[in-house]
Amino acid sequence: MTGTTDGRRTDTRQRIHQVALDVFSERGYEKATLREIAERLEVTRPALYYHYKSKEDILASIHRDLASSIDDIIDWACSRPADLRTRREVLHRLSALMAGPWGQFTRFAQENEAAMRDLAAASEFVERMESLAELLRPSDTVRGRMRARLALSALFMAGSRAEQLGGTDQVRSAAALETADELVADG
């Protein structure tokens, strides 16, 4: 019985996250309201307040979920040999993450830097990116560290509004992953 309740709660939370991200992206974080989010969800404001007291709470929850997903990738990679195969698998896992709602969150974060700066956990996100860059570096040189950061940037660029690059989201994601793979190759 508890599993069903927990599953529904998780589904509700994920639905709130998705709708909130849609509203934040369309209207801008500052202009978005909980009323608007509740209307899109087709629930009452009190029903939404039961889960989140403010849009800041929703944003922080979305960020925690992303951080947890990235932590899972980091933990997995730390338990593996520091080799090309592990680096490539990290990239593939990150790419899969970016293909989902995290790509939308990345776009939102880039377009709403002020809201992200105000988010208490933003500095932790930077630390996570540093950890990923460490795991991705093909060598302990300036060039190796640069290549790791560029590989991360390629994945995030594909997730951001990069229509000017041409192609579909899938084509850009595949190109970003291929580029990132080349950047973390030994050498």
pLDDT digits (tens, 9 = 90+) for 124-158: 778 888 999 999 999 999 999 999 999 999 998 87
Q: Which fold has domain 2-183?
A: Tetracycline Repressor; domain 2 (1.10.357)
User: For the chain, what percentages of helix, strand and coil (3-state, to nearest 5) are there?
Assistant: 80, 0, 20
Domains of the chain, by residue range, sit at 2-183
Given this model, what pLDDT does residue 166 score?
82
Average confidence (pLDDT) over 94-98:
91
Average confidence (pLDDT) over 84-96:
95
Residues 6+ apart with CB under 8 A from 114: 29, 30
Q: Which of 103, 184, 104, 113 is nearest to 143 (CA)?
A: 184
Q: Which of 27, 58, 101 is nearest to 36 (CA)?
A: 27
The yes-or-no verdict on residue 7 having pLDDT over 60 is no
Confidence at 2, pLDDT banded by 50, 70, 90: very low
